Amino acid sequence: MTRVHRSAIGAAAIVALSMAAPTHAGQIDITTLAGYGVTSQTFNFGAGADWNRVVVPTGKVVLGAKIVSAGDGFQDFSVFTPAGPGQMFPTFTFGAGEYGWTMRSVQGQANPNVTVDVYYSDPLSDYTLSKSIDQTYGAGGLGGWAAPAGHSVTGGGYYFTQADSWAVSSQWTENSLYWSLWQPIEREGWLIQARDNKTWSPANLYVVSFQQSTSVPEPGTIALLSLPLLGVAAMRRRQASDRR
């Protein structure tokens, strides 16, 4: 089941970090998930804040994305975010059961031959695309957004309202310090840092997450595991009877 979740926890900027988008986050290795795969596409972005998207195969859910072409990065995109069914963008809308990744290039920056890998898997337990409250970033400002409690994060992204804004880093985090000074929580989530030469950048963060299932033995399995213990108990009773 998929949920579009809007958390009630505020975001605050504390520590600056920088790294490339990972193929997996934290201790979750997405390559081990059932139905894991990668779809790769190359785009030519003009200088007019062009929109593009990658749609994962039917029946799959999006996990994350990575810019893989040399010399390209988050600084080339004012929007770089996961998307799901019904989400609308200026030039396209995701259909029923459709998942993927959405991009908008930075205004005034033509950029040809940009290659993006998008990762996907079979549907996951309590799969959720979380959207942050509206946030505003100062020059070089940071902000984060948490996934639901107990969830593992596989990816995330950002959507700056203004096409001349961008992120210098966009990454997974697990430290509660990144969420809020006034409401610390122990959750995984997503952290971005805005460009350092723009003082007003409204944005939303998006987080992809799911609930990892815990294996519980079936009743029949529990019964089978109990048989050796029953055998030991019977043997002890027999030995005690022989000694009388």
Tens digit of pLDDT for each residue in 226-241? 344 344 444 444 454 5
Judged against a pLDDT cut of 50, whether residue 4 lies above it is answered with no
Instruction: Enumerate the β-bridge partners of residue 171.
Output: 191
**How would you classify the pairing of strands 2-5 and 127-131?**
parallel
Query: Percentage of the chain with pLDDT > 90?
Result: 57
Token output for 157: 């992204």
The mean pLDDT value for 29-55 works out to 96
Q: State the average pLDDT over residues 140-161.
A: 91
The phi and psi torsions of 155 (rounded to 5 degrees) equal -175, 180
Find all residues with CB under 8 Å of 124, minimum gap 6, and list them: 33, 61, 210, 211
**What is the model's pLDDT at position 244?**
53
Q: What is the mean pLDDT of the chain?
A: 79
pLDDT at position 23 over 60:
no
pLDDT grade, residue 138 (50/70/90)? confident
When mean pLDDT is compared over 99-113, 161-175, 207-221, 229-243, the highest value belongs to 99-113
Closest to 171 in 3D by CA, of 153, 185, 196, 183: 153
φ, ψ of residue 206 in degrees (nearest 5): -130, 140
pLDDT recorded at residue 200: 81
- The reported pLDDT for the residue numbered 19 is 30
Indicate if the pLDDT at residue 94 is higher than 90.
Answer: yes
Structure tokens at 237: 């009773």
3-state secondary structure of 243: helix
What b-and-e string marks burial along 121-143, b requiring 16 or more CB atoms within 10 Å of the CB? beebebbbbbbbeebebeeebbb
Enter the tokens of residue 125.
Answer: 């337990």
Residue 41's φ and ψ, nearest 5 degrees, are: -140, 150
Least confident of 2-6, 182-186, 213-217: 2-6
